[in-house]
Structure 1
Amino acid sequence: MNISIFGLGYVGCVGAACLAKLGHKVIGVDVNENKVRLMNEGKPTIIEEGIAELCQEAHDKGLITATTVAAKAVAQTEISFIVVGTPSSKEGHLNLDYIYTVAGRIGHALQHKDEFHIVAIRSTVLPGTNQKVGEIIEQKSGKKRNVDFTVVSNPEFLREGTSVEDYFNPPLTLVGTDNKLAEQKLRELYKDIHAEFVCTDIKVAEMMKYVNNTYHALKIVFGNEVGNICKGLGIDSHKVMEIFCKDKQLNISPYYFKPGFAYGGSCLPKDMKALKTLARDLYVDVPVIESIYQSNENQKKNAVETIISKGKRKVGILGLSFKAGTDDLRCSPIVDVVEQLLGKGFEIRIYDKNVRLSELTGTNKDFIMAKIPHLQHFVTDDLHSVCQESDVLVVTNKEKEFANLLADYPQKVVIDLVRQWKEVDYNGYYEGLSWGSINTNPAQAEQVAQDFKRTEF
């Protein structure tokens, strides 16, 4: 393919050289004449292992040229990558001026081009940037998105020092697009890259780099805090984390990475509190570990706020134990939610077939009696009565018996804390705790009739 790359910095230089290695013909575009000269001489614009050889090889084969003229590059190529910098302001906002300037230059160039053109944003940008770039190109070119051109998001996953290796062996190839032709072209472009090709929504693709890098930063800080605690105890922290990383079933895995309700149970709250206390006894500051508890409390608060916001007093709680298929109420987060709602005067009904009050013993019984001493007045094993008599249904556990809830009880307000359904077509009101609405039914847009007005004290 014929490719143009706008921006010959770190990502642009690596991308140009690697695409040429895959047999594509590349035109680099940059306002910096020195970078253009280097690329035209077969030299890289950065220092990176393996990049000099790739640039020289591409130059010798006539697969890489560079220019300062955007119109020339756009006219001779079918895909234009935008890989210019997005520096941060002091407040943390991104400066997208370079992105929008390039979009304008591409737009001007497209005025004189009849063929369909694909613009791929490779730079790290916040959700919504893709749409804005498309609007700028439409304005400057007089052409229509998805008719004459399209804009896709194709974030890179390169690490400095190993970027060439990472380009050819990424964890995945991610493309956000709403255009089938663009998807086909990008699949063809990356067909020799041995990684899963993932095509998704544009804003999802734009979000991914921030989620990835923030998590990487979190891992580093978490490892350091564990290391500082271990040092205070005379324990080899590298051996601890080496064994930690061997667990691919829970520790290094998709498990626990599902947005939803707060954690609970007998282990996580207790053990995390113990580790915090140990650090405090050693006079080791662990702000990340310290903040886990408060973040979890915030998620309980989010659940309470979401329920209250619906303006309905009759609330049915579907599941009281901290996990589906158990009767363990110890530190169950929904218990705290119920306690707060009862204190605010809500009429609560609770369904949980696994919780038999007469059989509660030990710490399980002590916990729930301290929180809700008259629990027997609220809990039942009659699912139908709870659903029938409640205006708001709060799904707290992924139980199979809840699968047909939406069909069986129409026109309710359903608050889902666990993503019980991937997508719904419900004629009532559906809301997920940590995800946007997945309800496709027009009734979702109707305003919920409240039976009380909330008062702030």
Structure 2
Amino acid sequence: MKNTARPVIGIVGFGTVGKALQAAFDLRCDVRICDPQLGTQSSSIEALVSSCRIIFLAVPTPAKIDGNADLTAFHEVIDGLQRASGKSPGCYPVICVKSAVPPDAVAQAFAQYPTLRLVVSPEFLREASPIEDMLSMRSLVLGGNERDCHVVAELFHDHSNITGEMRTLILPDAVSAAFLKYQENAFLAMKVSFMNEMFDIFQRSGSQCTWDQLQRAFHQDHERMGTTHWQVPGPDGLRGWGGRCLPKDVAALQSYAEQLGVDTPLLRTAWTRNLRDRTAEQSTSNEYFPTLDSAVEA
């Protein structure tokens, strides 16, 4: 039987992901938001800790010039949650991290704040349709303490506005869940680069059909090939991959791999290819394209 009580939940960070989370729960939960940009309408970290069962962390983690993720906001919020927990004895909300945070930073947070009930749940929203994607989400991935993961899963299944069937996968640790976000975005970036390369070859093949006609045939095998990230040019009318997520996450993954002593020739090749496909003149101001060397040196 579903729990029909109206939960109180918090969202820290009211950007793209934060707004999508609000849309997912605002009809069936008491949603309280903490974001300095909201001014007096913003709840405080202390207020969230003392009143919420679950707090979603949706702060930005943009790329720094060296390719690493800028975790300033993440660390500030985690520190604030720890301090607030000390002032509110008996209040231990589950902290569900929706921000893209590198696996090593997640491991460090778990070690540094053992009393916080941290859970990582990677988000896979498209930049052009985050609320639509959230409300039609089909897969929920969680990593961390199993009991705490089930608390978050229950909220999504019993108290959200999400329609349709949603599968839940609980991974044995939060590091794995954090890695999954980077793995998926890196794969999609490489897929786009691959399709751009196929496009260049096909354009010189002398074929009488168009690229779109060819791709319709290609995607007859959609179970193996997938149905997205094949358009050339892409949905934004440009070659290659861009936006807020893919460039910063590929750069962060390369930096992480470098720290582990793992060479990433496929990622480096996709990055080099994309620098050619997506020139500085084409890139929009919210995209991050450092040089290849700066993206992997940390």
**1:135: how far off?**
4.1
Read off the aligned partner of 1:107 and give its amino acid letter.
Q
Unpaired runs of 5+ in structure 2? 1-6, 228-298
Partner residue, 1:240? 214
Distance of aligned partners of 1:36 and 1:188 in 2 relative to their CA distance in 1, 3 Å threshold: farther
**1:250: how far off?**
3.9
Are 2:11 and 2:55, in contact at CA under 8 Å, matched by a contact in 1? yes
Partner residue, 1:231? 203
Confirm or deny that 1:119 pairs with 2:84. Answer: no
Are 2:54 and 2:152, in contact at CA under 8 Å, matched by a contact in 1? no
Partner residue, 1:43? none
Q: In proportion to residue count, which structure has more helix?
A: 2
Confirm or deny that 1:188 pairs with 2:154. Answer: yes
Are 1:7 and 1:84, in contact at CA under 8 Å, matched by a contact in 2? yes
Q: How does 1:17-32 map to 2 (within 5 A)?
A: 17-21=23-27, 23-32=28-37
CA distance in 2, matches of 1:172, 1:249: 17
Distance of aligned partners of 1:157 and 1:249 in 2 relative to their CA distance in 1, 3 Å threshold: closer
Read off the aligned partner of 2:206 and give its amino acid letter.
G
CA distance in 1, matches of 2:8, 2:65: 39
Please state whether the residue corresponding to 1:198 is helix, strand or coil: strand
CA distance in 2, matches of 1:101, 1:167: 26
Are 2:49 and 2:92, in contact at CA under 8 Å, matched by a contact in 1? no
Read off the aligned partner of 2:104 and give its amino acid letter.
G
Partner residue, 2:191? 219
Are 1:226 and 1:237, in contact at CA under 8 Å, matched by a contact in 2? no
Please state whether the residue corresponding to 1:89 is helix, strand or coil: coil
Confirm or deny that 1:177 pairs with 2:144. Answer: yes
Partner residue, 1:83? 58
Relative contact order higher in (CA < 8 Å, ≥ 6 apart): 2
Read off the aligned partner of 2:141 and give its amino acid letter.
L
CA distance in 2, matches of 1:7, 1:155: 15
Distance of aligned partners of 1:218 and 1:122 in 2 relative to their CA distance in 1, 3 Å threshold: same
CA distance in 2, matches of 1:36, 1:163: 24
Q: How does 1:225-374 map to 2 (within 5 A)?
A: 225-235=197-207, 236-248=210-222, 250-252=224-226
Q: How does 1:19-168 map to 2 (within 5 A)?
A: 19-21=25-27, 23-32=28-37, 35-36=38-39, 40=41, 66-67=42-43, 69-113=44-88, 114-136=90-112, 138=113, 144-145=114-115, 149-168=116-135
CA distance in 2, matches of 1:86, 1:218: 22
CA distance in 2, matches of 1:123, 1:250: 29
**1:242: how far off?**
1.6
Percent identical pairs in the alignment equals 23
CA distance in 2, matches of 1:110, 1:190: 24
Distance of aligned partners of 1:249 and 1:101 in 2 relative to their CA distance in 1, 3 Å threshold: closer
Partner residue, 2:246? none
CA distance in 2, matches of 1:173, 1:120: 12
Distance of aligned partners of 1:218 and 1:20 in 2 relative to their CA distance in 1, 3 Å threshold: same
Larger-Rg structure: 1
Unpaired runs of 5+ in structure 1? 41-65, 139-143, 254-457
Partner residue, 1:437? none
CA distance in 1, matches of 2:20, 2:106: 22
Runs of 4+ aligned residues of structure 1 deviating over 6 Å after TM superposition are none
Read off the aligned partner of 1:151 and give its amino acid letter.
L
Please state whether the residue corresponding to 1:245 is helix, strand or coil: helix
Distance of aligned partners of 1:150 and 1:3 in 2 relative to their CA distance in 1, 3 Å threshold: same
Are 2:97 and 2:120, in contact at CA under 8 Å, matched by a contact in 1? yes
For residues 357-410 of structure 1, what are the alpha-carbon distances to aligned partners after superposition, in whole Å with 9 as ceiling and x for unaligned?
xxxxxxxxxxxxxxxxxxxxxxxxxxxxxxxxxxxxxxxxxxxxxxxxxxxxxx
CA distance in 2, matches of 1:8, 1:249: 36
Read off the aligned partner of 1:25 and give its amino acid letter.
D
Read off the aligned partner of 1:166 and give its amino acid letter.
D
CA distance in 2, matches of 1:14, 1:117: 21
Read off the aligned partner of 1:87 and give its amino acid letter.
P
Partner residue, 1:426? none
CA distance in 1, matches of 2:223, 2:58: 37
For residues 179-215 of structure 1, what are the alpha-carbon distances to aligned partners after superposition, in whole Å with 9 as ceiling and x for unaligned?
32x1221121110543211100311110111111111
Are 1:155 and 1:206, in contact at CA under 8 Å, matched by a contact in 2? yes
TM-score by length of 1: 0.44
CA distance in 2, matches of 1:20, 1:31: 20
Distance of aligned partners of 1:184 and 1:245 in 2 relative to their CA distance in 1, 3 Å threshold: same
Partner residue, 1:198? 169
Partner residue, 1:15? 21
Please state whether the residue corresponding to 1:93 is helix, strand or coil: coil
Read off the aligned partner of 1:226 and give its amino acid letter.
M
CA distance in 2, matches of 1:234, 1:247: 24
Are 1:223 and 1:241, in contact at CA under 8 Å, matched by a contact in 2? no
For residues 407-436 of structure 1, what are the alpha-carbon distances to aligned partners after superposition, in whole Å with 9 as ceiling and x for unaligned?
xxxxxxxxxxxxxxxxxxxxxxxxxxxxxx
Please state whether the residue corresponding to 1:209 is helix, strand or coil: helix
CA distance in 2, matches of 1:220, 1:24: 38
Number of residues of Structure 1 aligned to a counterpart in Structure 2:
212
Read off the aligned partner of 1:167 and give its amino acid letter.
M
Please state whether the residue corresponding to 1:125 is helix, strand or coil: coil
Distance of aligned partners of 1:186 and 1:90 in 2 relative to their CA distance in 1, 3 Å threshold: same
Are 1:30 and 1:36, in contact at CA under 8 Å, matched by a contact in 2? yes
